Amino acid sequence: MKTKYTQGEWYAVEYAGHFDLQAGPFYGDRQLLTEDDTPREECIANAALACSAPNILESLQSLVDYLSPTKALMNDELREMIDRAEKAIEKATK
């Protein structure tokens, strides 16, 4: 399935007291919410994804909390999915 948002790692880069979402960690990397750097449709999709992040995080936390007690009973693939979800939650809540 093709998504409308920018794939890959996103970086919050600070410039003079404010943050920009970028495709890379350095000054001059492509900004993900600025039409000068990214097509308008993609900016809108990126902004919608960023705005939904708190809801996505809360849902993921609820899912992990619910499934974690049974993690030992899961197959390797499901355990790996839970591990990836836990790492994503950790990254989002540092």
Mean local confidence (pLDDT), 8-20: 91
Residue 2, pLDDT score: 66
Confidence of residue 93 (pLDDT cuts 50, 70, 90): very high
What is the per-residue pLDDT across 20-65, written as a single tens digit (0 to 9) for each?
Answer: 999 999 988 999 999 898 999 999 999 999 999 999 999 999 999 9
Count of CA atoms in the C-beta half-sphere (13 A) of 24: 6
Kindly state the DSSP code that residue 91 receives in the 8-state scheme. H
Please state the domain extents for the chain: 11-92
pTM of the model: 0.80
